[in-house]
A and B are shown apart, each in its own frame.
Chain A
Amino acid sequence: MAEAKVEATGTPVRRGLTRLAAPSDDKIYTWPHLVRAEFLCTLLVIAFMLVWSLLVDAPLEEPAAPTRTPNPSKAPWYFLGLQEILVYFDPWHAGVVAPSFIIVGLMVLPFIDINPKGNGYYTYSERKYEIQTFFLGFHVLWISLIIVGTFLRGPGWNWFWPWEPWDTHKVVAMTGIDLPYQLGIRSYWAQAAFGLVATAAYFAIGTVAMYMWVVKKKGVEFMERWGMARFGLTSFLFLNMLAIVIKMALRLGFNTKYIMATPWINI
């Protein structure tokens, strides 16, 4: 076998598609190594898709009837995380603002993350906070809410465990009360004013707290390098993400409906 032939260039060549001529670095030839891997992967995946499609039929229900609304009406599964936060927020937030912030947040990620480490390899310790934040957004808020929306929500968008029958007449107390009222504020405009102040204070205090936290963890020098634009964007998006968690906790723990209720917009 080992008839290593020496080419004019002096690089040893072996027959068959084995390792050829070690280039000076850790590179290997696309042909055949990468192409072969892609080809095999393609075959396997197509085989898998064929079996899946032979075994499971795509659903087709009764013809569309615009006057007969099914209960529950669920969006396609990949949007059920958003439909799930519709429980806690009005549609303008859950359906429009939240998804926009998600997309914008993802897009600006490479520009607000200035940590040069962990570029091109797996590491947790060198980028702890990035990974934790992503985990909160992607796994906790996106994926797990999709699972809840897909498997645990039944008629009236009420909670049903998989072993519970879907009872269309399940009675659930819908007694959400606005936060200002819960705190004893009774006049309408005082409630609205309180809500506005509370929301503004959340962002103001949150930003300051985050500033102080970053300076404490990373030092003033880091904050200067990071810059106000990056910091401001990061904290704004992060506080919005956190707000979803806070509102969910308020609702589940204290039955709070809105934090801020005005004639134009409710949060």
Chain B
Amino acid sequence: MSKWEEFKQQVIETQVWRSMFRHGYEDTPRNRILAVSGNVWLHLHPSKVRKHGIRLKFTWCMGGITFLMFLITIVTGVYLMFYYRPVAEYAYADMKYLEFDMPFGMLMRNMHRWAAHAMVIAVWLHMFRVFMTGSYKPPREFNWVVGCVLLVLTLLLSFTGYLLPWDQLSIWAVTVGSNMARATPLIGHEGPFREFVGVNDVYDARALLFGGGEIGPHTLLRFYILHCVFIPIVTTIFLVVHFWRIRRDGLSGPPA
């Protein structure tokens, strides 16, 4: 027995330790499986994985990092929601308040924003990795499709959040981004073939997105609800399916 093992043994046998942890963990295959299958969070994993799967060089860890970024934005986002009101008169002032007066307000805001950006980058890299390992091939075709939906949702989450600070950067970036909707063929008031449908600037695809003819307080509320409620819920649902499928099919790998 090494010195370290001896020391560990002594600690574990003290009365104080025993009073807290009555039963040790015996490192057996059965226990290793139970540790995963008996735990509501961990049993998202299979109890055994193929060795290549946990190598950084295979997955780049990017799916996991995307998910971690999603979790960080949820935690920091809830904090921001305590102080932010999605009303045109208050939104900007609340941002200032949050930055200068709230404990850790600036840090939370920074974390929220950078994690959102990092999530976009990570999801692209994840998709690139999945493509490069050919992991979309049977039987994982459908999970790739689910992934594509998640990709769109990730971008929409970021985009809807972009408007909320209600500063020059945000309204103009969102204006440029959303102006595309008015060019939608048939249903945009500047799109091709619009004359056959009869849409106009307060009644077309962009007006649906904006909640009116132009970007304004109604848009702020709309984007807020999409950003904080609707898209996160939809994303969560698709993530559940995504993870469930990985669990069922196992991680892809070279033929054994």
Contacts and interface: CB of A to CB of B under 8 A. Distances in A.
B243 interface: no
A198 B193 CA distance: 21
A60 B49 contact: no
Contacts of A68: 168
Interface in B110-142: 110-115, 118, 120, 127-128, 131-138, 140-141
Given A45-B68, A66-B171, A92-B184, A34 B134 contact: no
B168 A29 contact: no
B227 to A, nearest CB: 13
Interface stretch (A15-23, A170-178, A182-190, A210-218): A15-23
Contacts of A116: 137-138
B216 interface: yes
Interface string A117-147: 1111111000100010010001000000000
A30 B159 contact: no
Interface residues of A, number: 84
A265 interface: yes
Most B-side CB within 10 Å, residue of A21, A45, A58? A58
16 contacts: A15-B5, A17-B27, A21-B29, A30-B49, A33-B54, A45-B68, A53-B107, A60-B96, A61-B169, A64-B88, A73-B172, A75-B176, A90-B183, A121-B254, A122-B132, A138-B128
Contacts, number: 240
Given A45-B68, A50-B111, A63-B166, 17 more contacts: A13-B28, A16-B5, A28-B50, A29-B29, A31-B33, A33-B49, A49-B111, A68-B168, A76-B159, A79-B177, A92-B188, A109-B131, A110-B136, A110-B138, A115-B137, A120-B253, A123-B134
Given A58-B109, A79-B177, A113-B137, A30 B45 contact: yes
Contacts of B61: 41
B134 A96 contact: no
Interface string B55-95: 00000010011001000100000000000000010001001
A34 B176 contact: no
B91 to A, nearest CB: 8
Nearest to B159: A76
Interface of B: 1-2, 5, 27-29, 32-33, 35-36, 42, 45-54, 61, 64-65, 68, 72, 88, 92, 95-96, 99, 106-107, 109-115, 118, 120, 127-128, 131-138, 140-141, 144-145, 148, 151-152, 155, 158-159, 162, 165-173, 175-177, 179-185, 188, 190-193, 195, 214-216, 252-256
A164 interface: no
Contact of A64 (B35, B54, B92, B253): B92
Interface string A81-113: 011000000111011110000010011011101
Given A41-B65, A78-B120, A92-B183, A15 B45 contact: no
